[in-house]
Structure 1
Amino acid sequence: MQLKKMQALMKKSTHDEHVRELMVGANQYGIDVEWASELPNRNERSRLWRHDLIDTRDTYYFLIRQSALHS
């Protein structure tokens, strides 16, 4: 039983590291943030990429909250 807990913690640690990177990236490109360098030549692809990143971040936030409530 202890080994399974250790493995779960190690897996969670790696997962959290990736989530942290994702959060930082998504927060840099938050919906309310307009970067001056982007404005003149922003295209549809960059807008879609940014919204995908934010959606992924929000999904992770939700899943992390859910797992915290049930652990």
Structure 2
Amino acid sequence: MTHHTLPLAPIDVLDIPEQEISEVIRALIGHRQLTPLMRRINADLHSGNRTLRQQSRSALQRLGFPE
């Protein structure tokens, strides 16, 4: 896996190369960090900040989850 740091926020997910998404998801699960990331994405989906909402929607799609 080329991507060395685990994503902490939706914008981090958007920076992950497409071919590395499955490896990053496995790493998130292995480090028990998928749930905190999904909580952050969910919180940002309800943000008053339009940019955060859009980034969160895009991050969900990139991770393979429907909104």
- Return the index of the structure with the highest Cα Rg: 1
Taking structure 1 as the reference length, the TM-score comes to: 0.42
Taking structure 2 as the reference length, the TM-score comes to: 0.43
